[in-house]
Amino acid sequence: MRRAWAFLAFSFVMSWATVGRAESAGQSGGELHFCLRGEPKTFNPLLVEEDSSETIRYLTGGVLIRLNRQTQALEPGLAVSWKVSQEGRRIAFRLRSGLHFSDGTPFTPEDVAYTMKALMDPQLHSPTGDSFRSGEGQVDVQIPSPESVVVTFPAPVAGLERLFDQVAILSAHSPKKEMAVLGPFYVADYSPGSYVLLKRNPSYWKKDKAGKPLPYLDTVRLDIQRNRDIELLRFRRGEIHLINALDAEYFDRLQKETPAVVHDSGPGLDSEFMWFNQVPGAPLPEHKKNWFRTTEFRKAISMAINRADLSRIVFGGHAKPAFGPVSPANHFWFNTSLPVPQHDSAGALRLLEQAGFRLQGGTLLDSSGNRVEFTVITNAGNKSREQMVTMIQQDLLQIGIKVNLVTLDFPSLIERMTRTYDYEACLLGLVNTDLDPNSQMNVWLSSAENHQWNPKQSKPATAWEAELDRLMRAQSSATTDKKRKADWDRVQQIVAEQQPFIYLVNKDAMSAVSLAVMGSSPSVLNPHAFWNAELLRLGADPTLGAQK
Amino acid sequence: MSPLQKGAAFILCVIFALMVLATIVVPAPYARQFRDVPNAGPSTAHPLGTDALGRDSLSRLLYGTRVSLLLAPAAALLSTLIAALLGCAAGFLGGWFERIVLAVTDLSLALPWLFLLLTVRAMLPLDVPPMVSVIIAFLMMGLLGWQASVRVICAAARGVRDSDFLLLARSSGCKPARLLLRHVAPNLRPLFYVQFWISIPLFILTEANLSILGLGVMEPMPSWGNLLRGFEDFSALAANPWRLVPLILLVTVVMCFQLVVPSQEVTQ
C-alpha cells in the first residue's frame, strides 16, 4: 500500500513537472512553415481577390477593426474605438497613437485618409472597395484631430464597421508604398513560383498579457504548392506546420495516423446545393419547365433527399445537413427558427400528388402522362459532387423519379449555366467567406447574374422573388442590425419555403496543425488555422518542428 | 494448343460466362446502395465488399466487365479496321497517297484530342441515356485511336510491297485491289491482331480518364474504367487489398487474350 502511495505521489510530481515543461516549452522565435495553394497575384492589399494574396494580406495588413474569427465579434485594431452614425453613412475612428509601419514610418490619420481615397478610387477597381460602394458620389475623409478620422460615404453602407476587417491601412508617406505594413509580419522575400518569406514586424503594436511584444514567431515561410497531395505528404513528413483547409478524405487519412493534429471545427460557411433551371427561354421541353416552376415539385425533391446520408457517406460525417443560404456557423445571421430539413419520401409523394403527379408502377408521371426524369449536371472531376448526385439518384428513385448524371468540364458548365441555359438541374457548391448578408446580394436579387435558377430578370418573375428583392434592398439600407436581421431572417424563410436552391450540406471547416505549433485554436471562419498568427509559437521539441 | 493456352482459354470462358450470367450471379443490383455498410470488407452478403456508397463491389465488377469487355474490343476493332485500311493502302500504293496519309496521321496525332473530346461532349445533348453515352464514348475512341497503328501497319505494308511474291502476283496480272486484299492484308494479319489486342487495355484506361472528364461511363453504370478510378486513394488500397480485383481482372483478361491469340510467328 505504501509503495502504491509512493508511486502515485511520484506520478503526480512527474506529471506536474511535465505540465510545467509544456507551459514553458513554447518559445518565441522560429519559423512557421505552410503552403499557399497558388501564386499571390498582388501584394497590394486593396487589390486582393484570391486566397493566396488574402493570406498575405491577413498576415501583414494592419486593420482598424478586426473580426475575431473565433467569437465572430469585432475587436479594436489600429482604432481604439469607433462610432457609426448618420444611418450608416459615417464612421468615426479614434486611432491608437505612437504606432509605426514596418519600415519605421509613423502611423497617422493621413494614412487612413490616403487608404480610403485609394480604396474608393474608381480607377483602381479595388474588389475590397466595391463592398463600400452604396451610392453615387465621393467618399469624404475628415481629420478632426491627430488621433481621429471621420469617413463619410455618399449613401448608407450596411454592416459598415465589419467591412473594415478587409481594409489594410497603407502608408501615405513611406517610400516602400504598400510594402510598409502595420500587421504582425512584413514581406521580406518573394521568389515567384517558389515561396514568400514574411518576417516579424518589429514595430507591431500588439503585446501579450505579460507585455511581451507580438508576434512570437520570427518568420513565416509560405511555400507555393498547388498540389494538395504533395502538401499533405509534406505535412506528414514534418516539412510544413499546418494545412489551413482539409477535405474529408485527407482529414480521415491524417486522423488515422495522428489524431491530435487534425481539427474539425464544425460546419463551415461553405454549402453544396442544387437547383432547377427556371429560365423561361431555356431550350427545354415545356412540361419540364412546368415541373421546375412548381413549388411543390421543388419542395418534394428537397424532402426526398436524405441529407444525413449525404453528410455521413460522402463527407465521412464531416458535414451537416444544410438549412438554407446561411450556415449555422454564422452565429448572428443564421435564422434559428428555420425547420430542420427532414428526409420524408412519403411526404414528398403526397406533395407531388397535390401538384398533379402520380406514381404508376414505380414511375412518377405528371398530369399529362410524361415520365418524370431529369439530368443533373456538375463539374467533372469532383468526386464528392458525383457521389452526391449518385445518392440523390437512389433517393429520388424511391418516389419514381429517374435522375441522370452528366459531368462537364467547368467552361462547358458555365457556358450552359450563364449563356445557353441548356440544362435541367445543376449541383454545385458555394464558397462563402463573408458573414454579412450583403455579400449575397448578387445571388438573391432577381436582376443579379448569380440568381442562378433564373438570372438577370428585367422584373421579378414571381411574387416571392419580388419579395426577396424588397427584403434584400431593405436589409442593405437598414440602419440597425436588428432590422437587417429581421429582413434577412425572412429571406431565409422564403428560400426554405420556395426551395429555388435546394441546400444539401454545409461542409465542416477542417484543418491540420502540427503538434509543434502552440497557441493554435482553429476556427470555422477563414483563415481557420492561423487566424491568431501573432499568438502562435513553436514548441521546443525539434522533432516536432518542421524541418527545412 | 499448349496447356498454357488451354488454361488461358478456360479462364476467359469463365470470365465470359460470369459476364453473360451477371444478372443471375450477382448478389444485388449494381446501383443499389447499402448505406449502412459503405466501404465494407468481404462478407457472405458482399463477397468483394462494398464501395464508398455501399454498392456491392462484385455486382459492379461483373456488370463493369460486361460494359468494358463488349465495348472496348468494339472500339479496338473499329480503330484497327481504320488503321488497316489506311496503313495497307498507304504502304502498298506509296507515293503521294502514302505521303498524304502519313501527313494526315501526323496532323491528327498533333491534335489536342482531349479538347476535341471535351468539345464533342459539350455539344452533345444532356438527356442521352447512360448506355447511349457509353456507346458514343467508345465510338469516339475507336474513331480517334487509329493513328499510331497506321504508322506501324504502313511501315509493314511497305516491306511487303517489294517482296518477291507480290512481284510474281503483279506479273501474273493481279489488279491492285486484289493484290491488296488477297496478298498484302493477309500477310499483315498478325500485325492487325497485335494492334487490336494492345488497343483494348488502352481503350479501357482511356475510358477511365474520360470518365473523369465527363465523357466516359456515367454513374451509376459501372465499367472497369470507373472501377479503376478507386485506385486514386492508395492508402485505402493498402488497407483494403480486395479492391485490387478489378485491376487483377483487367491484367488477367489482357494476358489471356495475348496467350490465346496465335502470335505473329505462329501465324506465319
Residue A275 sits at φ, ψ, to 5 deg, of: -150, 160
- Is the Cβ pair B235, A375 closer than 8 Å? no
| Structure confidence by residue, pLDDT tens digits, A49-90 | 888 999 999 999 999 999 999 998 999 999 999 998 877 889
Amino acid symbol at B150: V
Q: What is the pLDDT of residue A3?
A: 44
Given CB atoms, is A377 within the 8 Å cutoff of chain B?
yes
**Regarding beta strands A402-408 and A373-379, do their DSSP bridges make them parallel or antiparallel, or are they unpaired?**
parallel
Contact A247, A510 (CB under 8 A): yes
Contact assessment for residue A445 and residue A469, using Cβ atoms and an 8 Å cutoff: yes
Minimum-distance CB partner of A309 among B35, B118, B126: B35
Closest-CA distance, A399 to chain B, in angstroms, reads: 15
Q: Do B219 and A377 touch (CB under 8 A)?
A: no
Measured between beta carbons, the chain A residues lying within 8 angstroms of B126 are: 375, 377, 404, 406, 422-424
Chain B residue numbers with beta carbons less than 8 Å from the beta carbon of A375 are 126-127
> Cell numbers at residue A122, please?
474608381
CB pairs < 8 Å spanning A and B: 68
For position A308, what pLDDT does the model report?
96
How many beta carbons lie within 10 A of that of residue B69, not counting itself?
Answer: 20
- Residue identified by cell 502540427 is A514
Is the pLDDT confidence value at A543 over 50?
Answer: no
Rounded to whole angstroms, the maximal C-alpha distance in chain A is 88
Decide the pairing of beta strands A242-243 and A358-360. Answer: unpaired
Question: Are residues A380 and B213, on separate chains, in Cβ contact within 8 Å?
Answer: yes
| DSSP string over chain B | --HHHHHHHHHHHHHHHHHHTHHHH-SS-TT-B-TTSTT----SSSTT-B-TTSBBHHHHHHHHHHHHHHHHHHHHHHHHHHHHHHHHHHHHH-HHHHHHHHHHHHHHHHS-HHHHHHHHHHHS-TT--HHHHHHHHHHHHHHHS-HHHHHHHHHHHHHHHTSHHHHHHHHTT--HHHIIIIIIHHHHHHHHHHHHHHHHHHHHHHHHHHHHTT-SPPTTS--HHHHHGGGG-HHHHHH-GGGGHHHHHHHHHHHHHHHHSPPHHHH-
Q: Taking the C-alpha atoms of B4, B8, B13 and B15 in order, what is their torsion angle to the nearest 10 degrees?
A: 150
CA distances from A15 to A19, A248, B174 (A): 6, 35, 99
Mutate to test the interface with A, among B124, B126, B234 (most CBs of A within 10 A): B126
Contact of A360 with A372, CB cutoff 8 Å:
no
Residue of chain B whose alpha carbon sits nearest to that of A408? B214
Is omega for the bond preceding A215 within 30 degrees of 0, making it cis?
yes
Yes or no, beta carbons of B35 and A381 under 8 Å apart:
no
Kindly determine whether residue B219 and residue A390, on different chains, have CB atoms separated by under 8 Å.
yes
Separation between Cα atoms, residue A256 and residue A261, nearest integer Å: 10
For testing contact with chain B, the best of A377, A394, A413, A423 (most B CBs within 10 A)? A394
CB A307 within 8 A of CB A343: yes
pLDDT of A417-454, one tens digit each? 999 999 999 999 987 778 888 888 889 999 988 899 99
* Cα A334 to Cα A340: distance, rounded to the nearest angstrom: 13
Residue in B33, B54, B212 closest to A380 by CB: B212
CB contact under 8 A, A380 and B235: no
Residue of A nearest to B209 (CA): A381
Instruction: Give Rg (Cα) of chain A.
Output: 26
Contact (CB, 8 A) for B101 and B154: yes
Whether the CA torsion A395, A397, A400, A403 is positive or negative: it is positive
- Residue in this structure with the C-alpha cell 446561411, named with its chain if needed: A326
C-alpha cell belonging to residue A305 = 433527399
Candidates B51, B47, B12; CA nearest to B34 is: B51
Q: What's the confidence (pLDDT) of residue B227?
A: 84
Q: How high is the pLDDT of residue B213?
A: 65
State whether residue A249 sits within 8 Å of chain B by CB: yes
Q: Residue A58: enclosing H or E segment and its boundaries?
A: helix A51-60
> What is the three-class DSSP state of A61?
coil
CB contact under 8 A, A375 and B129: no
A137: region left, alpha or beta (phi > 0 left; psi from -120 to 50 alpha):
left
CA distance linking residue B152 with residue B132, whole number of Å: 32
- Kindly tell me if the per-residue pLDDT of A261 is higher than 70: yes
All 3 cell numbers of residue A139? Answer: 467618399
Pick the residue of B127, B133, B134, B240 with the most A CBs within 10 A to test the interface with A by mutation.
Answer: B127
Instruction: Say which range, A1-15, A255-269, A487-501, B171-185, has the weakest mean pLDDT.
Output: A1-15
Report residue A65 as a C-alpha cell: 477593426
Q: Domains of chain B by range and CATH?
A: 3-24+47-267 (1.10.3720.10)
In terms of phi and psi (left: phi > 0; alpha: psi -120 to 50; beta: otherwise), the region of B159 is alpha
Asked if B118 and A409 come within 8 Å (Cβ–Cβ), the reply is yes
Residues of A in contact with B33 (CB under 8 A): 390-391, 394
How far separated are the first and last CA of chain A, in Å rounded? 51
Looking at beta carbons, which residues of chain A come within 8 Å of B118? Answer: 409, 412
SS3 breakdown of chain A: % helix, strand, coil, rounded to 5?
35, 25, 40
Q: Which residues pair with B55 in a beta bridge?
A: B33
* DSSP code per residue over A142-202: EEEETTEEEEE-SS--TTHHHHGGG-BPPPSS-TTGGGS--SSEEEEEEETTTEEEEEE-T
d(CA B261, CA B253) in angstroms, rounded, equals 12
The pLDDT of residue A183 is 95
CB distance from A547 to chain B under 8 Å? no
In A, minimum Cα distance to B54 occurs at: A313
pLDDT (tens digit per residue) in A353-376: 999 999 999 999 999 999 999 999
- State how far the Cα of B75 lies from the Cα of B72, in Å rounded to an integer: 5
What residue of B is the nearest CA neighbor of A257? Answer: B235
Q: Within its chain, how far is the Cα of A59 from the centroid?
A: 17
Least confident among A175-184, A287-296, A503-512: A175-184
**Hey, of A252, A310, A392, A404, which one would you mutate to test binding to chain B, going by the most B CBs within 10 A of its CB?**
A404
3-state DSSP assignment of residue A508 = strand
Cell of A343: 428526409
User: Does A313 sit within 8 Å of B38, measured CB to CB?
Assistant: yes
Distance CA A57, CA A99 (A): 19
Write down the H helix ranges in A327-401: 345-354, 383-397
Q: Give the residues across from B147 on adjacent strands.
A: none
Residue B53: which of A387, A404, A407 has the nearest Cβ?
A: A387
> A391–B33: do the CB atoms touch at under 8 Å?
yes
Q: What SS3 class is residue A432?
A: coil
Closest CA to B183 of B85, B92, B90: B92
Q: Which residue in A144, A46, A155, A146 sits closest to A90, CA to CA?
A: A155
Residue A16 in this model has a pLDDT that exceeds 70: no
Any chain B CB within 8 A of the CB of A345? Answer: no
Grid coordinates of A523: 476556427
Q: Which residue has the cell 465495348?
A: B71
ipTM topping 0.90: no
Task: Determine the pLDDT at residue B263.
Answer: 57
Does the structure show a pLDDT above 90 at A130? no
Q: Are A340 and A439 in contact (CB under 8 A)?
A: no
Judged by CB atoms closer than 8 Å, whether chains meet at A394 and B31 is answered as: yes
Contacts with B207 from chain A: Cβ below 8 Å: none
Q: What is the pLDDT of residues A488-518, one digit of tens each?
A: 999 999 999 999 999 999 999 999 999 999 9
Q: Find out whether the peptide bond into B220 is cis, omega within 30 degrees of 0.
A: yes
Q: Answer whether residue A171 shows pLDDT above 90.
A: yes
Residue A352 has pLDDT above 50, yes or no: yes
Q: Report the relative pairing of strands A373-379 and A425-430 from DSSP bridges.
A: parallel
Whether the predicted pLDDT of A5 surpasses 50: no
DSSP secondary structure of A450-485: T-TTS-S-SS-SSHHHHHHHHHHHHHHH-SSHHHHH
Are A394 and B33 inside 8 Å of each other by CB?
yes
For B118, which residue in chain A has the nearest alpha carbon? Answer: A409
H-run or E-run covering A505: strand A501-513
Nearest Cα neighbor of A64 from A105, A92, A104, A89 is A92
Query: How many residues are there in chain A?
Result: 548
Comparing CB atoms, the residue among B118, B220, B232 nearest residue A393 is B220
**Using the beta-carbon criterion (under 8 Å), do A412 and B53 form an inter-chain contact?**
no
Residues whose CB is less than 8 angstroms from the CB of residue A373 and which lie 6 or more positions away in sequence, other chains included: A401, A402, A403, A404, B127
A371 and chain B: CB distance < 8 Å anywhere?
no
- Residue B32: pLDDT band with limits 50, 70, 90: very high
Distance in angstroms (rounded) separating the CA atoms of residues A531 and A535 = 9
User: Over pLDDT 90: what percentage of chain A?
Assistant: 68
pLDDT above 70 as % of chain B: 93
Helix, strand or coil for residue A439? Answer: helix
Chain A residues inside the 8 Å CB shell of B213: 380-381, 407, 409
Strand order across the A148-152 sheet: A79-85, A90-95, A148-152, A140-145
The partner residue sitting opposite B122, judged by closest CB among A312, A383, A412, is A412
Q: What pLDDT is recorded for position A19?
A: 38
pTM of the model: 0.82
Give the minimum alpha-carbon distance from B74 to chain A in angstroms, rounded to a whole number: 24
| Residue entry with cell 462563402 | A432
Average pLDDT over residues A376-380: 91
Q: Enumerate domains of chain A plus CATH numbers.
A: 31-230+519-539 (3.40.190.10), 267-507 (3.10.105.10)
